[in-house]
């Protein structure tokens, strides 16, 4: 009997790692925070009818970086090509005022994972290429501090304790943001989404919104930034993931009379 007990103990010890291993495999899988798609809807305050304005689909490389964005809105496709200290992307679009289609090619030199200098070549039809040169500077915390266009200051950022103020070389880029309590810890920087569908001329070009989307222009603020001219409502799924943002005008400003819905879906 004593001999049988010893063998039984050894058998249990041999099985123990298998039991532990199985319990690890049975742990619930963490919900993905990799955004696969964002749909943007727009409604007029008059009748609140809901119309889809844009759809953005995201794909990622093996390191979880944004590799491609496809959309039915203006820039039909954005491609990111990561090389050593260099990021390149381009997008196609159409502009009737410029006589049809255009191509923007963006190339950025990185230092410590941040864009330091960038050039953007704009090609429209048979016209000669136009090259824009940008330089960026950052705060000690890694947030963007300013952007220059050639030798001129294009944008300046003041990260205060309670708000962020952006000043541009023209007033059309002046904005003031508050800091929300909603975490922005997803695979893309969702703070860039409203700028992608901004109706002001050249916003995506001047602010390099596609670089912001992929976290290449300074550190991402951990909370959502809320434009002072709007109010925000957030909706979450049962896993605690953000699935919808409703952005409504705080007042009936002549240039901001629309409400936007940003609806996210995730890779599983």
Question: What are the domain boundaries of the chain?
Answer: 31-266
Question: What was the pLDDT predicted at 254?
Answer: 54
Report the chain's mean pLDDT, rounded to a whole number.
82
> Using 50, 70 and 90 to split pLDDT, how confident is the model at 47?
low
Question: What was the pLDDT predicted at 12?
Answer: 33
Residue located via tokens 């103020």: 165
- How is domain 31-266 classified at the architecture level of CATH? Beta Barrel (2.40)
Q: Is residue 240 predicted with pLDDT exceeding 90?
A: yes
Q: Is residue 69 predicted with pLDDT exceeding 50?
A: yes
Residue in 145, 193, 154, 194 with CA at minimum distance from that of residue 174: 154
Greater confidence (208 vs 92) lies with 208
pLDDT in tens, 214-225: 988 889 999 999
Q: Is residue 2 predicted with pLDDT exceeding 50?
A: no
Q: Which two tokens stand for residue 241?
A: 């993931």
DSSP bridge pairs for 97: none
Residue in 146, 228, 222, 156 with CA at minimum distance from that of residue 191: 222
Mean pLDDT of 159-166: 93
Distance between CA atoms of 95 and 113, rounded to whole angstroms? Answer: 33
Burial, 49: exposed, middle or buried (Cβ in 10 Å; 0-12, 13-18, 19+)?
exposed
Mean pLDDT of 95-113: 77
pLDDT in tens, 111-124: 887 889 999 898 88
Greater confidence (1 vs 36) lies with 36
Q: Is residue 235 predicted with pLDDT exceeding 60?
A: yes
Distance between CA atoms of 70 and 39, rounded to whole angstroms? Answer: 12
Distance between CA atoms of 177 and 230, rounded to whole angstroms? Answer: 10
Greater confidence (154 vs 24) lies with 154
What is the pTM for the complete model shown?
A: 0.80
Q: Is residue 250 predicted with pLDDT exceeding 90?
A: no
Give one DSSP letter per residue of 106-150, joined into a string.
EEEEEETTEEEEEEEEEEETTSPPEEEEEEEEE-TTS-EEEEEET
Distance between CA atoms of 169 and 19, rounded to whole angstroms? Answer: 65
CB neighbours (10 Å) of residue 252? 8
Residue in 33, 31, 72, 32 with CA at minimum distance from that of residue 188: 33
Residue in 144, 126, 147 with CA at minimum distance from that of residue 135: 147
Question: What was the pLDDT predicted at 76?
Answer: 67
* Phi, psi angles (nearest 5°) of residue 259: -110, 140
Mean pLDDT of 135-163: 91
Q: Is residue 89 predicted with pLDDT exceeding 90?
A: no
């Amino acid at each position: 009997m004593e001999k049988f007990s010893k063998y039984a103990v050894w058998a249990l010890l041999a099985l123990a790692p298998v039991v532990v291993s199985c319990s690890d495999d049975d742990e619930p899988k963490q919900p993905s925070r990799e955004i696969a798609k964002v749909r943007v809807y727009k409604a007029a305050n008059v009748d609140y009818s809901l119309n889809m304005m844009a759809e953005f689909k995201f794909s990622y490389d093996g390191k979880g970086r944004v590799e491609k964005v496809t959309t039915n809105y203006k820039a039909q496709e954005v491609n990111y090509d990561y090389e050593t200290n260099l990021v390149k992307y381009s997008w196609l679009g159409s502009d009737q005022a410029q006589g049809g289609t255009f191509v923007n090619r963006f190339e950025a030199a990185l230092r410590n994972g941040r864009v330091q200098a960038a050039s953007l070549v704009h090609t429209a039809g048979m016209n000669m290429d136009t090259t824009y040169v940008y330089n960026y500077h950052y705060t000690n915390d890694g947030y963007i501090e300013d952007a220059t266009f050639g030798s001129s200051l294009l944008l300046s950022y003041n990260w205060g304790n309670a708000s962020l103020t952006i000043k541009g070389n023209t007033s059309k880029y002046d904005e003031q943001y508050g800091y929300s309590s909603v975490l922005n810890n997803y695979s893309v920087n969702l703070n860039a989404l409203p700028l992608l569908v901004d109706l002001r001329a050249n916003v995506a070009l001047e602010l390099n919104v596609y670089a912001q989307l992929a976290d290449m222009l300074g550190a991402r603020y951990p909370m959502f930034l809320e434009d002072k001219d709007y109010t925000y409502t957030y909706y979450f799924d049962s896993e605690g993931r953000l699935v919808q943002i409703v952005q409504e005008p705080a007042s009936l400003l002549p240039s901001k009379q629309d409400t936007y819905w940003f609806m996210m879906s995730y890779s599983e």
